[in-house]
């Protein structure tokens, strides 16, 4: 397990910018797509397209100075064109370079003249820089456009600004005061294996060049007062936001071609973090820069409305910080296991999953109970390590049947052992899956 700072960001004045922050699973997490520049009569502006393409290539090569030099040339001759502004702001944001959005675009942006797309990119940049005042100013301008098709996104941004203001109050209310610090805990093995990970034959050994995939804690959209919610023991949606990435990371851990890890947020050592908006390219870049050696990172967002759930997952290629694939599903309590089971199988097919030597990996019989089991295992693991206060432990959910698979049986045993050490309620005793590995784990845990 490794802990490293992330996503808190540093405060900046109104001339700075940073990552994107969409508001609902139905809206993209990265800035608005680039538009192809056109001239005044609607034909492609050939003199600008090659320049903007060259600037994008430099961004992908991490040559920000080179890209900015091109952008400054373009803006000098076409800096009032909506298509140019949205292209530049979109490309900068998608590649994870968001401070220059404010530097280059904010002085030129006029909502009436340039439309909402560039304004949304600018708003997202201010939010990620933790500058609620500048974000609020842009939000007011966008609301003034009176565009019903934007209302859902704008209200999402309004909630994110309110959360940012509340965080500032909790950190002392001063621009130069101590910022709230979000740490990420990386779980690099199946969470249920900690404590028995040295058992022969339990975890796979892999050779050759492996692709490394990280799975980020899901953002939970539409949560009222996320800061206050985070201070309380987790509810079912928060547990899902951590349990699902643990499940997906575990799945690739047992595939021969991959290394994997889950990245989960803590607010210091006080309580879990809740992310009210989606992760952005800049968040991903910061995660990588602080030691996360990943080829791909999967982020996502989940939202619950009146008992119905929507989930959006995004796969990002770290080399270019570009989104490569998105997966979206919806479910209700009646079909949750069916939908999540199909999603799991679809992802295994997409990643070309091949079994690795070790425990025979089997998909859970009930995905919802397995996700809950993993979330509860994480909490007891962190509390047992002194990283999460014991007071933050929520009552145990309905757990996976320990007789269904070897992993479910070992998860039951390791969680029970931690709960006993912590002096909290243990899972109900139930028959275990019959295998030598399970017997060895039971003996090792006493």
Which of 84-93, 155-164, 259-268, 329-338 comes out lowest in average pLDDT? Answer: 155-164
The DSSP secondary structure of 117-186, one letter per residue, reads HHHHHHHHHHHHTT-HHHHHHHHHHHHTT--GGGHHHHHHHHHHHHHHHHHHHHTTS-TTSPPP-EEEEE
pLDDT at 173 over 90: no
pLDDT of amino acid 39: 38
pLDDT band at 23 (very low <50, low <70, confident <90, very high): very low
pLDDT band at 290 (very low <50, low <70, confident <90, very high): low
CA distance 256 to 112: 54
Q: What is the pLDDT of residues 28-37, one digit of tens each?
A: 333 444 444 4
pLDDT at 366 over 50: yes
Sequence-distant (≥ 6) Cβ neighbours of residue 254 within 8 angstroms: 204, 355, 356, 358, 359, 361
pLDDT band at 185 (very low <50, low <70, confident <90, very high): confident
Which among 149, 59, 139, 70 has a CA at the least distance from the CA of 99?
59
pLDDT band at 245 (very low <50, low <70, confident <90, very high): very high
pLDDT at 15 over 60: no
Going from the C-alpha of 63 to that of each of 68, 168, 429, the distances in angstroms are 9, 33, 58
Mean pLDDT of the residues in the chain: 83
pLDDT at 246 over 90: yes
Strand 2-5 with 258-267, pairing: unpaired
Average pLDDT over residues 314-329: 89
pLDDT of amino acid 170: 61
Two tokens, residue 21? 């922050």
pLDDT at 329 over 60: yes
Q: What phi and psi values does residue 391 have, to the nearest 5 degrees?
A: -65, -15
What sign for the dihedral angle of Cα 142, 143, 146, 151? positive
For the CA atoms of 225, 227, 229, 231, the dihedral, rounded to the nearest 10 degrees, stands at: -160
Q: Please tell me which residue, 115 or 228, carries the higher pLDDT value.
A: 115
pLDDT band at 63 (very low <50, low <70, confident <90, very high): confident
412-414-417 Cα angle (round to 5): 105
Q: What is the pLDDT of residues 291-314, one digit of tens each?
A: 668 999 999 999 998 889 999 999
Average pLDDT over residues 104-133: 87
According to the per-residue pLDDT averaged within each range, which of 36-45, 51-60, 216-225, 306-315 is highest? 306-315
Q: What is the pLDDT of residues 414-442, one digit of tens each?
A: 999 999 999 999 999 999 999 999 999 99
pLDDT of amino acid 319: 84
pLDDT of amino acid 34: 43
pLDDT of amino acid 153: 84
pLDDT at 124 over 90: no
pLDDT of amino acid 96: 66
CA distance 171 to 227: 12
pLDDT of amino acid 25: 32
Which percentage of the chain shows pLDDT scores above 70?
85
Q: What is the pLDDT of residues 408-419, one digit of tens each?
A: 999 999 999 999
pLDDT of amino acid 171: 55
Q: What is the pLDDT of residues 380-397, one digit of tens each?
A: 999 999 989 999 999 999
CA distance 37 to 54: 14
Two tokens, residue 29? 């997490």
Which among 304, 24, 246 has a CA at the least distance from the CA of 153?
24
Two tokens, residue 206? 């892999």
pLDDT of amino acid 320: 80
Which among 252, 263, 269, 260 has a CA at the least distance from the CA of 180?
269
pLDDT at 107 over 90: no
Q: What is the pLDDT of residues 352-365, one digit of tens each?
A: 999 998 788 889 99
Which percentage of the chain shows pLDDT scores above 90?
53
pLDDT band at 44 (very low <50, low <70, confident <90, very high): very low
The DSSP secondary structure of 298-342, one letter per residue, reads EEEEEEEETTEEEEEEEEEETTTTEEEEEEEEEE-TTTHHHHHHH
Please, is 320 exposed, middle or buried when counting C-beta atoms within 10 Å of its C-beta (0-12, 13-18, 19+)? middle
pLDDT at 241 over 50: yes
pLDDT at 250 over 50: yes
């Amino acid at each position: 397990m490794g802990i490293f700072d992330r996503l808190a960001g540093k405060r900046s004045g109104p001339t700075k910018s940073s990552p994107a922050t969409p508001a609902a699973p139905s809206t993209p997490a990265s800035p608005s797509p680039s538009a192809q520049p056109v001239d005044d009569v609607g034909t492609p502006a050939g003199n600008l397209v090659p320049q903007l393409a060259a600037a994008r290539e430099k961004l992908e090569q991490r040559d920000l100075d080179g890209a900015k030099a091109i952008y400054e040339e373009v803006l000098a001759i076409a800096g009032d064109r909506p298509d140019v502004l949205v292209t530049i702001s979109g490309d900068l944001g998608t590649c994870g370079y968001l401070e220059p959005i404010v530097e280059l675009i904010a002085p030129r942006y006029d909502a009436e003249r340039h439309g909402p797309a560039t304004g949304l990119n600018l708003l997202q940049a201010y939010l990620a820089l933790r500058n609620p005042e500048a974000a609020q100013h842009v939000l007011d301008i966008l609301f003034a456009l009176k565009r019903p098709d934007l209302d859902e996104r704008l209200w999402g941004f309004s909630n994110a600004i309110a959360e940012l203001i509340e965080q500032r109050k909790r950190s002392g209310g001063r621009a130069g005061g101590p910022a709230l610090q979000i740490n990420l805990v990386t779980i690099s093995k199946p969470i249920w294996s900690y404590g028995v990970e040295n058992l022969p034959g339990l975890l796979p050994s892999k050779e050759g060049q492996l692709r490394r995939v990280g799975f980020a804690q899901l953002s939970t959209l539409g949560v009222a007062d996320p800061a206050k919610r985070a201070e309380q023991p987790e509810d079912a949606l928060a547990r899902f936001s951590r349990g699902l990435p643990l499940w997906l990371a575990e799945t690739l851990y047992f595939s021969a071609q991959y290394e994997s890890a889950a990245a989960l947020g803590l607010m210091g050592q006080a309580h879990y973090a809740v992310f009210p908006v989606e992760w952005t390219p800049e968040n991903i870049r910061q995660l990588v820069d602080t030691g996360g050696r990943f080829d791909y990172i999967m982020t996502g967002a989940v939202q619950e409305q009146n008992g119905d759930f929507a989930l959006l997952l995004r796969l990002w290629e770290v080399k270019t910080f570009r989104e490569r694939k998105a997966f979206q599903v919806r479910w209700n309590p009646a079909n949750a296991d069916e939908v999540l089971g199909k999603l799991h199988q679809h992802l295994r097919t997409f990643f070309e999953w091949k079994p690795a030597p070790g425990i025979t990996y089997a998909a859970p019989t009930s995905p919802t109970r397995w996700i809950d089991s993993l979330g509860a295992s994480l909490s007891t693991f962190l509390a047992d390590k002194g990283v999460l206060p014991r007071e933050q432990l929520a009552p145990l959910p309905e757990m996976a049947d320990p007789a269904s698979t070897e992993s479910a049986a070992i998860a039951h045993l390791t969680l029970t052992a931690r709960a006993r050490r912590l002096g909290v309620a243990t899972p109900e005793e139930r028959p275990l899956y019959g295998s030598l590995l399970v017997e060895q784990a039971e003996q090792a845990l006493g």
